[in-house]
Chain A
């Protein structure tokens, strides 16, 4: 749960322009945003009053599907690769990939946001959920729920913005290495789970760089390192030692199949997440924008910094409902299953207040992401002139 409420005095903040690509959106005045926040709060309250048995049944059904595809995929791979029609094993690879996607997105991500903590189910709660990728869940919870959801798209504070690898805005000075950042992006996508695993260690500068000042790490640096390696070891043992050995006659195909399933999952999750914050009109902010922020201003920033994509129900589910990134950033602890329904109302509210609401088809949104990565590979004219 990351909703931050900050009280502010009577000072009037100069509306801060938020930038997206070339264009600038002026923040509405406080009274307008207060009314805006009230409407969003009412929507949240209305949705939360509906949360109950249906949600519990839903998440358990998704978990059953995930388990079924996980076990089924591994069996299909074994039987398929053993059979004369070896390519049927590829269906197993696909099943396993979908199982991992469901586990990471619709189940893991949402459970770890505390969306299902109200169920009091010892197996479905944010405190001790662990997911099927190399990232340690506790580490992810520490940086994601706090850093990314509080400081969304604030350059310099939200390290999810470009992951310290990509330049996706003019706010970041151009460097020659940005020229080949499209290849860096492909690499990051393919190895995305390692990015998730390493993110906190990079911030704390565990292996490289000078030790971070005023670190708020609640565990020791040694424990962080241990948890990092432990999770990688376990995942490696499972997918590249245990199951291949269990399927001994087809050891190599199964090993490669597991690798493929992991890579498919990595590509998919990274694509979904890039569509959530790095589309053409997703805005960026400065650190001072979030100081003394009212709830309305916070909502405003979350909406401008996020983007949705549209598609059939299965696309929403496979994206963990991050297809409704805007709603997720407004209401991170509302069960995500409700986001598509809420999105209709949020869009209407935004329209009434003249606040841009960023949505489009999956293909269109992704296309703008790719364009953005390429566009910011190159310096601005001014930077060229200064060089």
Chain B
């Protein structure tokens, strides 16, 4: 239901909107495909009006707790740029569950074979990542979104050298970039730092060693955290031409924070540093939270006292109160959990911005209450 419709009055809407107007009027659904969705779902369980279908071709084990899904997306899927991610949706016990994963293979690979790969770490105690590995098999069908994300080499000029820093499974988008460069037999100067928690957890080791032959100016440094510890400036200082590099960092949030701090110490300009969080942004950016906060869910009349140090999202709080708001990816990508905040200030953990105090739409999964908050749930 769009605002424009409500203002159009009895006259027929402009062309373009007419399909939607007809669908809404004749079927009470926003589109005809949404009207027929339950029939599609009868033939193809899990089919959705909001996604593309992708067949699972293979599930390949990478490490003990990491596996790759080899997918063949629907031919209408529009493709991607190395470094981008997709949302993967599966139907689990009747519920659509969505998670976001970087594509670990290259666009060149997709163009020749029609396949993409998602490389996934099994979260301990996770609801979806272990389930995918157990329940998907060759010929399963999943849903994927269009590729999204700005963490790509298109953001930087082609002639400059690259410094890529990966932490754990944060290597996946960087691997996509390297595979792409390798297929182009690029002479670009690339330095890759791969951090893993121990020597058993280096992802894509064989493939990366292979790229060293096709990419004449690629150098790889394997950083075993058991030996060298967490990233700090002493790891980066020896790198030549560091100040000329465009830097791409991907990994868990503490690792990104440490890398950015180290780069700052070494006078690398912030605009040269590109980073992608795996998961929602860290909450250490929260300056200070009011001592006592009360969150009120106005429609259900639930009232919650929020502990002083709590940085739980409103989505988690709502679920703990027994409410069941519509949600999807839980990291601010899919916009399904948008909800009306009636008043109060929330912090957007993705952008680090504080909201207005008045009514507005917020994403529950990214919003941490800063003051007393009333949410229309």
How many residues on the B side are at the interface (Cβ–Cβ under 8 A)?
44
- Bound-complex Cα distance A121 to B36 (A): 14
Nearest CB in chain B: distance from A101 CB, A: 15
Nearest CB in chain A: distance from B201 CB, A: 33
Decide if A237 touches B35 in the complex (CB within 8 Å).
no
Decide if B25 touches A120 in the complex (CB within 8 Å).
no
Decide if B6 touches A226 in the complex (CB within 8 Å).
yes
Which A residues from 86 to 145 make CB contacts under 8 A with B? 103, 114, 117-123, 125-128, 130-132, 138, 145
- Bound-complex Cα distance A30 to B364 (A): 37
Interface string of B321-341 (1 = CB under 8 A from A): 011111110000000100010
B95 within 8 A of A: yes
B34 / chain A contacts, CB cutoff of 8 Å = 122-123
- Bound-complex Cα distance A275 to B41 (A): 36
Given contacts A122-B50, A146-B299, contact A1 B10 (CB under 8 A): no
Decide if B95 touches A119 in the complex (CB within 8 Å).
yes
Selected contact of B42 from candidates A60, A226, A237, CB within 8 Å: A60
Interface string of B1-44 (1 = CB under 8 A from A): 10001110010000000000000111011100011111101100
Selected contact of B302 from candidates A5, A67, A114, A117, CB within 8 Å: A5
A163 / chain B contacts, CB cutoff of 8 Å = none
Decide if B300 touches A132 in the complex (CB within 8 Å).
no
- Bound-complex Cα distance A237 to B10 (A): 10
A233 / chain B contacts, CB cutoff of 8 Å = 10
Given contacts A120-B97, A125-B326, contact A238 B48 (CB under 8 A): no
> Which residue of chain B is the closest to A54 with respect to CB atoms?
B94
A218 within 8 A of B: yes
- Bound-complex Cα distance A51 to B95 (A): 10
A64 within 8 A of B: yes
Given contacts A60-B41, A122-B48, A122-B49, contact A230 B5 (CB under 8 A): yes
B376 within 8 A of A: yes
B277 within 8 A of A: no
A47 within 8 A of B: no
Given contacts A52-B94, A123-B37, contact A117 B29 (CB under 8 A): no
A3 within 8 A of B: yes
Selected contact of A238 from candidates B7, B25, B325, B327, CB within 8 Å: B25
Decide if A1 touches B94 in the complex (CB within 8 Å).
no
A234 within 8 A of B: yes
How many residues on the A side are at the interface (Cβ–Cβ under 8 A)?
49
A11 within 8 A of B: no
- Bound-complex Cα distance A3 to B324 (A): 12
A64 / chain B contacts, CB cutoff of 8 Å = 38-39, 42
B93 within 8 A of A: yes
Interface string of B31-66 (1 = CB under 8 A from A): 000111111011000001110000000000000000
Decide if B93 touches A53 in the complex (CB within 8 Å).
yes
Interface string of A39-72 (1 = CB under 8 A from B): 0000000000001111111001101100100000
Nearest CB in chain B: distance from A248 CB, A: 17
- Bound-complex Cα distance A225 to B39 (A): 35
Decide if A120 touches B38 in the complex (CB within 8 Å).
no
B322 / chain A contacts, CB cutoff of 8 Å = 3
Nearest CB in chain B: distance from A58 CB, A: 9
Interface string of B290-328 (1 = CB under 8 A from A): 000000000111100000000000000000001111111
- Bound-complex Cα distance A61 to B39 (A): 9
Interface string of A197-230 (1 = CB under 8 A from B): 0000000000000000000001000010011001
A2 within 8 A of B: yes
A158 within 8 A of B: no
Instruction: For the A-B complex with A120-B328, A130-B28, A145-B299 known, give 11 more contacts whose Cβ atoms are closer than 8 Å.
Output: A1-B299, A1-B324, A67-B38, A117-B324, A120-B95, A122-B49, A122-B336, A123-B38, A227-B6, A233-B10, A237-B25
> Chain B residues in contact with chain A, CB under 8 A?
1, 5-7, 10, 24-26, 28-30, 34-39, 41-42, 48-50, 91, 93-98, 299-302, 322-328, 336, 340, 342, 376
Q: What are the 9 closest A-B residue pairs judged by CB atoms, nearest first?
A: A56-B94, A52-B93, A120-B96, A53-B94, A130-B28, A63-B38, A234-B25, A60-B38, A123-B34
What are 12 A-B contacts defined by CB distance under 8 Å? A5-B302, A56-B94, A60-B42, A63-B38, A67-B35, A103-B28, A120-B95, A120-B97, A122-B49, A123-B49, A127-B326, A227-B6
